[in-house]
């Protein structure tokens, strides 16, 4: 969701017309965020700056 939001793609029209690359990018960011979250104690998701590194 964060990836789609940052690209301005959280509208009905944009979501209906997502390209494969846009979807792949969004899912890849979600997977990276999930990996960081489960590596930490508790429900502690990464900050945005940690995802840019």
Give the total number of structural domains in the chain.
1
Model pLDDT, residue 52: 85
Question: Which residue segment(s) compose the domain that 47 sits in?
Answer: 2-52
CA distance 53 to 43: 21
Model pLDDT, residue 38: 96
Taking only the tens of pLDDT, the chain with its 53 residues reads: 999 999 999 999 999 999 999 999 999 999 999 999 999 999 899 999 999 86
CA distance 36 to 52: 13
Q: How many CB atoms lie within 10 A of CB 9?
A: 19
């Amino acid at each position: 969701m964060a990836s789609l939001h940052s690209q301005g793609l959280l509208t009905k029209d944009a979501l209906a017309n997502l390209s494969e690359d846009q979807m792949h990018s969004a899912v890849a960011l979600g997977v990276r965020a999930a990996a960081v979250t489960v590596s930490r104690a508790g429900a502690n998701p990464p900050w945005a700056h940690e995802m840019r590194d």
